[in-house]
Structure 1
Amino acid sequence: MNLLKKLTIVSSIAAASFAGHAFGQDFQWKEATSNGYKYRYVTNDPTSARYYTLKNGLTVILSPTNKEPRIQTYIATKAGSKTDPADHTGLAHYLEHMLFKGTNQFGSKDWAKEKPLLDQIDALYEKYNQTKDEAKRKEIYKEIDRVSGEAAKYAIANEYDKMMAGMGADGTNAFTSFEQTVYTEDVPSNVIDKFLAVQGERFREPVLRLFHTELEAVYEEKNRSLDDDGDKVFDMMFANLFPNNNYGKQTTIGTIEHLKNPSLHAIREYYNNYYVPNNMGIIMSGDFNPDEVITKIDKAFSYMKSKPVPEYKIGQEKAIASPVIKEVVGPDAESVMLGFRFPGASTKDARLLNFVGSMLTNGQAGLIDLDLVKKQKLLGAFAFPYALKDYSVLLLQGKPTEGQSLDEVKNLLIQEIDKLRKGEFSDDLIQSIVNNEKKNIIQKDEKYSSRASLLMDEFTSEVDHKANLEYVEEISKLTKKDIMDFAAKYLQNNNYVAVYKKKGEDKSIVKVDKPTITPVSVNREDQSPFLKKIDEMPEKAIAPVWLNYDKDITKNKLGDVDVLSVKNTDNALFRMYYHFDSGKWNNKMLPLAAEYLQYLGTNDKSSETISREFYKLASSFNVSAGNEETYVSIEGLNENFDKSIALFEDLIRNCKADQAALDAYKARLKKARANAKQNKATIMAGLRSYAQYGAQNPFNNVLSDAELDALKAEDLINILHDLFNFKHKVLYYGPKSGDEPVASLKPIHKLPASLKELPKTKTFVQIPTDKNKVLFAHYDMVQAEVFWVRNSDQYNPTLTPTVSLFNNYFGGGMGSIVFQTIRESKALAYSTYSYFALPSKKSDKDMVMAYVGTQADKFNESTTAMNELLTTLPKSEQLFETAKSGLKKSIASERISQDGIIFSYLKAQRLGNNFDMRKNVYEQAPKLSFADINAFHDKEMKNKNYTYCLVAAQDKVNEADMQKLGEVKKLNLTEVFGY
């Protein structure tokens, strides 16, 4: 389950004639009745959302769309960390974890025998909670562990996840934030009856089984947060913005003291208080008939009884009279975060805050974008609004360049705030933001999942849907004076909190110690009668739809350039790409040139002017150079297609060398490269590349410091001016069809008589994993991150069905063998997985990957547990059949559409295929037996050599323990990064 500090930006949807949507129409709440159910709706709402309130108070929001035969669902409770009891912080979050453990109807093989043992565990935890003597506490915990082991013999671990996987569900998860706990599923539309039957039972009377192993997973999650400097900055910011409100007084994951002293009674009481229908909502968007679905939801949840929810008293904050400056230390790179307080999400000022956020940062023409990012005054900077029910927040963050103090970073950010108050921004910025907001609304409406997410956030934050729909009309009327007055009211020079993130050792960290836990049974082969009943429920099969690359893609020529296009029949947006089969391996300077372009102008336009012009057109561009491919992407409104493409072509063909911009870019790049060495995820990426390719690998295939120093502006300009003289393709998705994309591009995209090949200067080949090795890199943290890497054989397309089924069974989700064993049974990790990876091109090799993120003191146990699974594949016929069923249903309900069709085609080409490989998987995977995937496991994983990539603190993992795994090589960061 994800712990999300969710950035719920006040979003908007508006309907009605901008690129196919009708903006400026009248929005009114209306009532209607259909199929015996009353509902409310807003006129001209593009989401067609219906708002029902059932007799027991349950809110149901239904937004039908038949673009794909799937449904995004959220079951949301308006309760989170702010409603945690003050003496049991973190409770809402670990209750969220327990809602996956089942009831007396599922998750148990013998409830009559399990219940007395669970009652004993309840009592033992209360005793443990009230005992202060450490020796006695250990004795009690030992008894908890013993009785939990007995109770686990009757539990069926992950039965919920198995049921959802068998339905073909994706994204089985949940998250807890300040004022929401949300359970999420994306299911095929034909299993709605099964889904509702499971959910209705799930929330009826949850059983807190397998508690002590799950609590250990929460401990692991806490330790991960202690290793995350970003989390620490966020917590410090909110603690000081909200000293009286629970947003700042208690964190979502809770304190170590409270995590060490859980009370199942308190958890159950919290559930009984807040998980009541008048405090919950079911939000769905997707392919369904709302008249039918509301009846089914009512039937599934009518047992719930309404009751008063405990009163929540908003902790009122006093105005901040002078800047509050705080400090956080840790191993990550330095930064500054500023925070300003605003009214809650349902207010007009919160909506205006969203607009002001766009004035500061919109990725192209905001004040911070142009003044600080474009002019390279900081390594990076942005602003974002964070809307919550009680209060909202504007957060600004900046990273220093080399030699720059954090005070200087803060002052630069404050100067941009000053410009809002003084009205020092272009007059046309307001209208440009309005135009781009209209485009963003259309983009959000493209996906059913985006609709559902928006409606869910509105529900938990108690934001009026009509007010959100009117947002575009509201901001269209804003004047410069309105912005100045707003900034003067809320954004002063003294009413903020600043958190300085500095380099250093955080000596305040106290990790959650590892308790002694005996592995518990997971009973993979057992099934509850409830699961069997769900499986037997009828469902109408969904017919799969395969891509036909000859029919689904229009193929034309523009000179020697292939033009691949798919018509957009949904709206008036376009996305176009120039695609090059070349990248960093062809020229190490290509990614630098791509980045440098954003700081350049032409003879008659500055870089800032170009950004403003793109933003006025509600268009944008991006140049991205990878190892072997480069993409230039341009997107926007079809009515501005010619102008957008011409604007970019003028820039790339006529950009001027700017030595000052290059000097600033080099300085920032050096700082960014230094910062990368302070990021554990980036270090791990380097180790993995080293494991795949050896000491010289794609990750460290970069310019040396000396080469970077010698780099001239002309070197990069020449690359940019010459780019379209090399072989490339045009990929187009938009309203134009047939020959229209070519006709539009012909006068703009000028081509030479013949296109050049870009020769490769470097080719990397995966090395044999010929012995067991450990690649170690030091990082000061509580956790230990371990990644297994093994290079296998050359790509073989006939293996794809076997690989797909194997991954589904072995290590691909919360119901998989790996997750059940390492997390559920042994409580060794919060995050763990394993999979067999097929390459992206046919000349590459397959790979075996595995991962465990664990406490350093569990390093031996965790690596042993994963290696046991890599050696012997546990057999569960029931789980195997679930993996088969889920895979087939997931593929049948998947629809590859829009520009995804073109990218699917290119992927197939790189692998030497000329058809939709999903068809083979759908037809062949169900025919496979467990013996087939066991043989695959034995061939690819059993008794094989692995390279163990390990990132951990050198004083927390014993070298002798590493040597048990293989030959140890401790890498310094220069070896990893190449500079």
Structure 2
Amino acid sequence: MNLFKKITIVTSVAAASFCGYAQAQDFQWKEGKSNGYTYKYVTNDPTSARYYKLKNGLTVILSATNKEPRIQTYIATKAGSKTDPASHTGLAHYLEHMLFKGTDKFGSKDWAKEKPLLDKVDALYEKYNQTKDETKRKEIYKEIDKVSGEAANYAIANEYDKMMSGMGADGTNAFTSFEQTVYVEDIPANAVDKFLAVQFERFRAPVLRLFHTELEAVYEEKNRTLDDDTDKVYDKIFETLFPNNNYGKQTTIGKIEHLKNPSLKAIREYYDNYYVPNNMGVIMSGDFNPDEMIAKIDKAFSYMKSKAVPEYVVGQEKPISSPVIKEVVGPNPESVMMGFRFPGATTKDARLLNLIGNMLTNGQAGLIDLDLVKKQKLFNAYAFPYVLKDYSVLILQGRPTEGQSLDEVKTLLLQEIEKLRKGEFSDDLIQSIVNNEKKSIIQKDEKYSSRASILMDEFTSDIDHKASLEYLEEISKLTKKDIMDFASKYLQNNNYVAVYKKKGEDKSIVKVDKPTITPVSVNREDNSPFLKKIQEMPENTISPVWLNFDKDIEKSKVKSVDVLSVKNTDNELFRLYYYFDSGKWNNKMLPLAAEYLQYLGTKDKSSEAISKEFYKLASSFNVSAGNEDTYVSLEGLNDNFDKTADLFEDLIKNCQADEAALTAYKARLKKARANAKQNKGTIMSGLRSYAQYGSQNPFNNVLTDAELDALKAEDLVNILHDLFNYKHKILHYGPKSAHGVASSLTLIHKVPATLKEMPKSKTFAQIPTDKNKVLFANYDMVQAEIFWVRNADNYNPELSPTISLFNNYFGGGMGSIVFQTIRESKALAYSTYSYFGQPNKKENKNMITAYVGTQADKLNESTTAMNELLTTLPKSEQLFETAKSGLRKTIAAERITQDGIIFSYLSAQKLGLDYDRRKSVYDQSPKISFADINTFHDNEMKGKNYTYCLVASQDKVKDEDLLKLGELKKLSLTEIFGY
């Protein structure tokens, strides 16, 4: 139930255009008939998608795959913020929230008594909406709060979430964007009948209950966007690119004045207008028989009646004839974002925009990758296509290095655009992109969830699936001149919008003020007859599948190095890892060397040439050094396994020190370190590490400024040259057998007779949480972010079943005690949770964490509410049984596959286990009673000390309030970051 982030939309919509096939194919729309239903399909479609149109106009798209006993489902409406009424922006989004509240059949324990009160709330909101006098508005709101509280006595909060959780559903959520509102579930394959019964009822006649508390959650969501400079930049660039189109005139979350003046009447009108079958789609991918599934869906949704949808008039934009420059200010690091306008998603030019995005940024061999990132001319830079229905946008963004102006950033980005117009790019770049898209197609087809996402985005954007499948063949035929002509048509020096994100205080921010809300009843112990009916519906049993590490993992050796391998029998992809059980704690320079490698070449090849060669092979590499683990990962097509491994071995063994690259890298590191101090999320990570380990902790275990200045290129290169001389393992997932991997790597991966031990690791001991403390960091923000941290006892595997069930019940989802109490009942936060975390190594301690992100003026109420829950565990037998059932069903339908098997094995080893730990949770959880988890709660949480990690504006919180929580320590950024 979230505002779908804009950058995510780009990824999924763009991905739809990559859904092609690995070889040139003849794609044609055909018609098929089966089980009494007619459907359309595209020949040679790797997703085998069937397109049905039911009698009432409902679109159903089914893509069957039986790799896992689960189904990804989307119920999508072609309506989003662009179809919001101009007088009620944000309406589509908060309607999305309300569609979790139930109907007259569920979500209520006495509809006959609840309805008159809800009708009264409706009337009060209309009166509130039309009243201008603030004194009278406050009086009306008091009455809204009073009557809403009375109505809540008959409401059953989160009953939808209880039903889905009880089925073993995962990822229960929804999102709203410009032109789509989508309801998301990932369900076990045996829960289809229950799922469809719930969705039938959900969309039949939604009731807008618990509205004023949910609207407060939307207020919180709005305030979170006010603290996010990236959101503000996107809003500004769309506002400027689209002054006439609703992409720019309306934001998804809406205007503050509209959020403050909601109309339930307008919400119902919107629902009646847009939530009609001819404007909706049901998209599923997973383990099912499509002939059986379409009949079930038809039966569930045939009650819906087709209806004309209000005409949407596309706001037409005039061409941009001169650059338009805007500014946004805020506490985050400076940047430049640029946007060029393109035609909408259904056009050929929008498909070609995806190619342009890859030519500029593909992570390895794009123009921006090679010219600006590898050469470190900018701190970072990228480009990507933002494909929407009315119009599309090419977005470019760059961050300056130290001392660089935003004008210089913009100029460097424009120079890369000019290279497209002039044809100053490699002749084989287009073919390399085609090769990598072929690999991408295989990757996307691996998971049922990605299939469903692609098909859903195509549906809401009206993209022709056949055209998407033909994309590879389409771009394969393009010439350099075609690209130059295309760039000259759309990408000039004068037809763009640029937003300069500058450092400063945003004085234009007007937060949504906190209304007075009396906590409402959530009636945890009550169940509607409908919920009982769903629970009693029969379902086939899904038997869990446990890992057997001895059987599931093939083993071999390359001299003294162990090879652990899982065979890929599905496709031609491989993933290869060199794994070191050591990292930054052994050598603080290891992460720096790992990152420095991307800027280095060998005696025979430049860094740019190596990147191009990897990209031509449709392969890639990454070196990642964490605190206690280091991974060198290679991935690509199996046909290129030997070439990929050999290319990387040559690079790491023969990379040459580059002083110029190091000088630029040091400057980037210093800029990155400065930027980190301007990021509230990173600051909070530092506070949490401080709470766990004290003043000297893993977060600030970094080089000092003096050590960084003294760093030499030879020091880093020597670390890289010597890396494979240390003890490590080889991990592999791919078509080769373990023996085949060993045979190939014996010739490529040179292993010395004796492998060395890494330098002794620095140890960080978790400190006792011996008293209540507050660690405070000042940040210019509207909200306050609070984490509770407590180091508990040492790891005990016997507690895993109790902990898993406790987390499911207490703080792990929208149906949990924490979410129900703090958000649903008290409207104190948009996001809140709590969990009891077990460590990843048997020597370490468990950790208790709780979180609330809230308005600063709700700090006292929010901390009190969470502390009450940490002190006394509310009892709900119904919720407890739902948590227990859902936990077992989720585990039963889970399949750990591919290289996940190897990583599960390594994780088990660190915990001293030689078995799949999920089995004990599955077997033991039925025996656990509420009394058991209540005892666990009392032993681990009640009356315990906590460290409160708080990031907020010092102007919006009071020291006396913080001192009530515990001993107050205000940390400087130097104390937090170590530099």
TM normalised by structure 1 equals: 0.99
The answer on 1:11 being equivalent to 2:15 is yes
Q: Which residue of 1 aligns with 2:393?
A: 393
From the superposition, tell whether residues 332 and 13 of structure 1 become closer, same or farther in structure 2 (CA, over 3 Å).
Answer: closer
Q: Which residue of 1 aligns with 2:411?
A: 411
Q: Which residue of 2 aligns with 1:61?
A: 61
Partner secondary structure for residue 304 of structure 2: coil
The answer on 1:951 being equivalent to 2:955 is no
Q: Which amino acid aligns with 2:932?
A: D
Q: What number of residue pairs does the alignment pair up?
A: 975
Superposition pairs for residues 351-430 of structure 1, below 5 Å?
Answer: 351-430=351-430
Per-residue CA distance 1:849-885 (angstroms, 9 max, x = gap): 0000000000000000000000000000000000000
The answer on 1:594 being equivalent to 2:594 is yes
Per-residue CA distance 1:618-670 (angstroms, 9 max, x = gap): 00000000000000000000000000000000000000000000000000100
Superposition pairs for residues 308-387 of structure 1, below 5 Å?
Answer: 308-387=308-387
Distance 1:216 1:713 in 2: 54
CA contact (8 A) 1:12 1:441 kept: no
Q: Which residue of 2 aligns with 1:898?
A: 898
From the superposition, tell whether residues 15 and 351 of structure 1 become closer, same or farther in structure 2 (CA, over 3 Å).
Answer: closer
Partner secondary structure for residue 239 of structure 2: helix
Q: Which amino acid aligns with 2:53?
A: T
Superposition pairs for residues 65-214 of structure 1, below 5 Å?
Answer: 65-214=65-214
> Offset at 1:842?
0.5
Q: Which residue of 2 aligns with 1:262?
A: 262
Partner secondary structure for residue 965 of structure 2: coil
The answer on 1:580 being equivalent to 2:584 is no
Q: Which residue of 1 aligns with 2:870?
A: 870
Q: Which residue of 2 aligns with 1:814?
A: 814
CA contact (8 A) 2:334 2:500 kept: yes
Q: Which amino acid aligns with 2:67?
A: K
CA contact (8 A) 1:102 1:160 kept: yes
From the superposition, tell whether residues 344 and 15 of structure 1 become closer, same or farther in structure 2 (CA, over 3 Å).
Answer: closer
Q: Which residue of 2 aligns with 1:548?
A: 548
Per-residue CA distance 1:562-588 (angstroms, 9 max, x = gap): 100000000001000000011000000
> Offset at 1:2?
1.5
Partner secondary structure for residue 850 of structure 1: strand
Q: Which amino acid aligns with 1:636?
A: G
Distance 1:13 1:748 in 2: 37
Q: Which residue of 2 aligns with 1:618?
A: 618
Distance 2:39 2:18 in 1: 20
> Offset at 1:759?
2.0
Q: Which residue of 1 aligns with 2:844?
A: 844
Distance 1:857 1:70 in 2: 43
Aligned-residue Cα RMSD (Å) equals 0.7
Partner secondary structure for residue 446 of structure 2: coil
CA contact (8 A) 1:832 1:851 kept: yes
Partner secondary structure for residue 151 of structure 2: helix
CA contact (8 A) 1:14 1:46 kept: no
> Offset at 1:738?
3.9
Q: Which residue of 2 aligns with 1:908?
A: 908
> Offset at 1:927?
1.0
CA contact (8 A) 1:588 1:701 kept: yes
Distance 1:165 1:104 in 2: 21
Q: Which amino acid aligns with 1:410?
A: K
Per-residue CA distance 1:385-426 (angstroms, 9 max, x = gap): 010000000000000000000000000000000000000000
Per-residue CA distance 1:815-837 (angstroms, 9 max, x = gap): 00000000000000000000000
CA contact (8 A) 2:378 2:398 kept: yes
Distance 1:411 1:36 in 2: 61
Partner secondary structure for residue 780 of structure 2: coil
Q: Which residue of 2 aligns with 1:29?
A: 29
> Offset at 1:555?
1.2
CA contact (8 A) 2:519 2:827 kept: yes
Partner secondary structure for residue 563 of structure 1: strand
> Offset at 1:22?
4.8
Partner secondary structure for residue 964 of structure 1: helix
Per-residue CA distance 1:151-173 (angstroms, 9 max, x = gap): 00000000000000000000000
Q: Which residue of 2 aligns with 1:831?
A: 831
Per-residue CA distance 1:165-204 (angstroms, 9 max, x = gap): 0000000000000000000000000000000000010000
Q: Which residue of 2 aligns with 1:735?
A: 735
Distance 1:435 1:718 in 2: 34
> Offset at 1:760?
2.5
Distance 1:561 1:835 in 2: 38
Distance 1:147 1:555 in 2: 67
CA contact (8 A) 1:809 1:879 kept: yes
Unaligned runs of 5+ in 1: none
Distance 1:762 1:739 in 2: 36
Distance 2:13 2:883 in 1: 37
Distance 2:815 2:23 in 1: 45
Distance 1:597 1:23 in 2: 34
CA contact (8 A) 1:76 1:281 kept: yes
Distance 2:253 2:14 in 1: 24
Distance 1:289 1:418 in 2: 51
Q: Which residue of 2 aligns with 1:495?
A: 495
Partner secondary structure for residue 351 of structure 1: helix
Per-residue CA distance 1:458-498 (angstroms, 9 max, x = gap): 00000000000001111110100010000000000000000
> Offset at 1:11?
2.6
CA contact (8 A) 2:73 2:285 kept: yes
Distance 2:278 2:817 in 1: 38
CA contact (8 A) 1:12 1:471 kept: no
Superposition pairs for residues 226-305 of structure 1, below 5 Å?
Answer: 226-305=226-305
> Offset at 1:12?
4.5
Q: Which residue of 2 aligns with 1:437?
A: 437
Partner secondary structure for residue 732 of structure 1: strand
Q: Which amino acid aligns with 1:793?
A: D
Distance 2:892 2:761 in 1: 43
> Offset at 1:263?
0.1
CA contact (8 A) 1:9 1:385 kept: no
CA contact (8 A) 1:777 1:970 kept: yes
CA contact (8 A) 1:832 1:853 kept: yes
Partner secondary structure for residue 563 of structure 2: strand
Deviating above 3 A after TM superposition, structure 1's stretches of 4 or more consecutive aligned residues are: 12-16
Per-residue CA distance 1:579-621 (angstroms, 9 max, x = gap): 0011000000000000000000000000000000000000000
Distance 2:558 2:931 in 1: 52
Distance 2:26 2:13 in 1: 24
CA contact (8 A) 1:11 1:468 kept: no
Q: Which residue of 1 aligns with 2:660?
A: 660
Distance 1:335 1:85 in 2: 33
Per-residue CA distance 1:26-67 (angstroms, 9 max, x = gap): 000000110001100000101010000000000000000000
Distance 1:588 1:221 in 2: 39
Distance 1:133 1:396 in 2: 46
CA contact (8 A) 1:14 1:45 kept: no
Q: Which amino acid aligns with 2:392?
A: S
Distance 1:580 1:829 in 2: 41
Unaligned runs of 5+ in 2: none
> Offset at 1:14?
7.4
> Offset at 1:15?
8.3
CA contact (8 A) 2:564 2:738 kept: no
Q: Which residue of 2 aligns with 1:859?
A: 859
From the superposition, tell whether residues 110 and 12 of structure 1 become closer, same or farther in structure 2 (CA, over 3 Å).
Answer: closer
From the superposition, tell whether residues 14 and 504 of structure 1 become closer, same or farther in structure 2 (CA, over 3 Å).
Answer: closer
Q: Which amino acid aligns with 1:11?
A: A
Distance 1:406 1:834 in 2: 41
Q: Which amino acid aligns with 1:272?
A: D
